[in-house]
A and B are shown apart, each in its own frame.
Chain A
Amino acid sequence: MSQDSIIIVKDLVKKFGNFIANDHLTFDVYQGEIFGFLGANGAGKTTAIRILCGLSTPTSGKVSVAGYDAYKQTEKIKQNIGYMSQRFSLYEDLTAFENIQFYGGIYGLSSKEIKSRSAKLFDRLGFEEFQKKQIKDIPLGWRQKLAFSVAIFHKPKIVFLDEPTGGVDPITRRQFWDLIYQAANDGITIFVTTHYMDEAEYCNRASIMVDGRIADIDTPLNMIKKYNANSMDDVFYILARKMVD
């Protein structure tokens, strides 16, 4: 894995009035890695993701995503990232193909390109039977896979996954991670938040946020060793408790 940084965050501060949501965050995400962005609810993850996606402006600090500045070049950032949330974000009354057509379209792909890419996609996923079905008639696991494929359909440099496996059974979750690995192999950088600490162990590196600050960044294995823990779950508890004390 190359060590080129595709996301550079230095001393990022985001305040809402007196409340400090992000308190001097500093981290890099490397090109092509799977980066886990962990933290409890309210730790400031969502705020940071919104900044990285160009939806909100930092109060201070330096933020660069895919080589673009988060203050001035949000349009460029948006063009180069993909995004998927827990809610899958597909239109239920549109067919699988129409969803792809729509999302491909708003990223500026030509209809010819959309057709050839989606044909490959449906073929690779074994998805042909669902192509002309409305999303509401497609099983949940398939919807999730489709949502992910849609998020990376325009071949973004980075894809942000905001708790993508929430509310999904373990087998589907495992299959979903296979897709993530595939995308990473294709050179897409994965930025993923999750509540499931076993999933954290699938990441190349992870950061753990507590109360608006980053408590630690390392490979899962190193963290488990460092804190003398059995799993990432333990690491998470140890860090959360340490910061509170």
Chain B
Amino acid sequence: MNKFWGFVIKEFYHIFRDKRTMLVLFGMPVVMMLLFGFVVTNEIKDARIAILDMSNDNTTREITNKILSSGYFQLQERLSSDKEIDGVFKKGNVKEVIVFDRNFEKDLYRKGISNVQLITDASDANQAKMIAEYTSGIIRNYGLTLNQEQNLPFKINTEYKMFYNPELKGVYMFVPGIMAMILMLVSALMTSISIVREKEMGTMEVLLVSPLRPIQIVLGKVMPYVFLSFINAVVIILVSLYVFKLPIQGSIVLLLAECFLFIVLALSIGILISTVTANQQVAMLFSMVALMLPTMLLSGFIYPVENMPLILQGLCQLMPPKWFIEIVKGIMLKGGGLEKVWDETLVLLGMTILLLTLSASKFKKRLE
């Protein structure tokens, strides 16, 4: 046992003395969190809009107020005719024009239906869609409160539906994904690199000739990363709690336990990669291509799995991060207990056992 701890301590020396490793381990998670949370977000804030109110009655003014006070929009210009719309977009200082139909209020109360048109600058297609969705969300909301107050079936027609979380926060979607990505990257990439480095330096030979058992060598290499990855998981949770004010609805113990499971899974992938690669560059490339892309694209992190072609959907089922993200969402956002994420946990557990056996047998084979 003493031998083993000596090994672990040595591993920590490697980690703490290498600036690059330290940066990847501790800088990257925080930077990535902040990047995804603040910059690469699909939230909108202070989007400039113009309003063409051809009715100019109480209802349209009230809706306008609601839209402008939401914090998402900023009124750039009031238009007086639809001929100006083209010009306003061409100048490029407006993202959306909201057009209220003539006789908006009258139509609403007489016919129970009236129209509002949302015109967006779709040169940035994603943003345009988002802005239109946000606007229609606010208008719909207004329509609903109106219905409750008046108890009459009023209908304001807008073209978009609300897909978003109630507070329209992008962070809700990103935190679980970032967590999967960072844990995957730190655990798998760093372990595969550190094992391959021993091979490259020739120190692996000496370790194998020593009385240490192969299992002790692997565990010794992996242990520090389990520990550090776990710290990372805690940091991510803290940042999302205190910087992004994202509450954890479910049990934090369960969340940490699931993180631990995912870390072990990622580590066994790292060991597997180290057995099939001969040098650090290849291991790094392999980890990036084999882990990062699937984690980002095929896990529901950025693109929803349900919108993918069937073949890709099938492929997604094979990606561990997909299951982990579902678990994290289930616990953090929906407040589910173990019984809610039981299926996903079993899948992850099965994958972990499979990968561990595979990498252990591969590692042994290389010794022969």
Contacts from A to B (Cβ < 8 Å) = 53-56, 75, 78-79, 81, 83-94, 98, 101-103, 105-108, 134, 160
A–B complex contacts, Cβ < 8 Å, 17 sampled? A53-B209, A55-B209, A55-B367, A56-B367, A81-B209, A85-B205, A86-B202, A92-B201, A93-B17, A93-B18, A94-B14, A105-B3, A106-B212, A107-B210, A107-B211, A108-B2, A160-B209
A63 to chain B, nearest CB (A): 16
- A53 CA / B367 CA spacing, docked (Å): 12
B358 at the interface (CB under 8 A from A): no
| Interface stretch (choices B5-13, B299-307, B311-319) | B5-13
Known: A98-B13, A106-B3. A85 touches B206 (CB 8 A): yes
Contact between chains at A75 and B206 (CB < 8 Å)? no
Which residues in A have their C-beta under 8 angstroms from that of B361? none
**Which are the 9 A-B pairs with shortest beta-carbon distances?**
A87-B202, A105-B6, A83-B209, A89-B206, A78-B211, A93-B17, A102-B10, A79-B211, A106-B3
B208 at the interface (CB under 8 A from A): yes
Contact between chains at A75 and B211 (CB < 8 Å)? yes
Which residues in B have their C-beta under 8 angstroms from that of A91? 10, 13-14, 201, 203
- A65 CA / B203 CA spacing, docked (Å): 23
Contact between chains at B13 and A94 (CB < 8 Å)? yes
- Interface of B, secondary structure class, is helix
Which residues in B have their C-beta under 8 angstroms from that of A90? 203
Which residues in A have their C-beta under 8 angstroms from that of B202? 85-89
Q: Tell me the nearest residue of chain A to B206, going by C-beta.
A: A89
- A78 CA / B206 CA spacing, docked (Å): 10
Q: Tell me the nearest residue of chain B to A102, going by C-beta.
A: B10
A87-B201, A94-B14, A106-B207 known, 4 other contacts, Cβ within 8 Å: A78-B210, A85-B202, A91-B13, A108-B211
The 8 A CB mask of B106-126 against A (1 = contact, 0 = none) is: 000000000000000000000
B339 at the interface (CB under 8 A from A): no
Contact between chains at A56 and B211 (CB < 8 Å)? no
Contact between chains at B2 and A105 (CB < 8 Å)? yes
Interface residues of B, count at CB 8 A: 22
Contacts from B to A (Cβ < 8 Å) = 2-3, 6-7, 10, 13-14, 17-18, 201-203, 205-212, 367-368
- A74 CA / B106 CA spacing, docked (Å): 94
- A83 CA / B204 CA spacing, docked (Å): 12
- A22 CA / B187 CA spacing, docked (Å): 41
- A78 CA / B14 CA spacing, docked (Å): 25
Which residues in B have their C-beta under 8 angstroms from that of A85? 202, 205-206
Which residues in B have their C-beta under 8 angstroms from that of A87? 201-202, 205
- A53 CA / B211 CA spacing, docked (Å): 11
Contact between chains at A106 and B6 (CB < 8 Å)? yes
- A89 CA / B198 CA spacing, docked (Å): 9
A96 to chain B, nearest CB (A): 13
Contact between chains at A89 and B211 (CB < 8 Å)? no
- A157 CA / B201 CA spacing, docked (Å): 26
Name, among B201, B203, B208, the residue most crowded by chain A CB atoms within 10 Å (CB to CB).
B203
Contact between chains at B201 and A89 (CB < 8 Å)? yes
Which of B13, B208, B212 contacts A55, CB < 8 Å?
A: B208
Known: A53-B209, A83-B209. A98 touches B10 (CB 8 A): yes
Which residues in A have their C-beta under 8 angstroms from that of B17? 93, 134
Contact between chains at A56 and B368 (CB < 8 Å)? yes
Contact between chains at B205 and A83 (CB < 8 Å)? yes
B206 to chain A, nearest CB (A): 4
Which residues in B have their C-beta under 8 angstroms from that of A53? 209
- A106 CA / B216 CA spacing, docked (Å): 10
Q: Tell me the nearest residue of chain A to B216, going by C-beta.
A: A106
B338 to chain A, nearest CB (A): 40
- A107 CA / B216 CA spacing, docked (Å): 13
Q: Tell me the nearest residue of chain B to A90, going by C-beta.
A: B203
Contact between chains at A102 and B367 (CB < 8 Å)? no
- A83 CA / B206 CA spacing, docked (Å): 6
Which of B2, B10, B13, B205 contacts A89, CB < 8 Å?
A: B205
Contact between chains at A108 and B3 (CB < 8 Å)? yes
Contact between chains at B367 and A93 (CB < 8 Å)? no
Which residues in B have their C-beta under 8 angstroms from that of A101? 6
- A48 CA / B210 CA spacing, docked (Å): 17
Name, among A53, A75, A86, A91, the residue most crowded by chain B CB atoms within 10 Å (CB to CB).
A91
Which residues in A have their C-beta under 8 angstroms from that of B7? 102, 105-106
Q: Tell me the nearest residue of chain B to A54, going by C-beta.
A: B209
- A84 CA / B13 CA spacing, docked (Å): 23
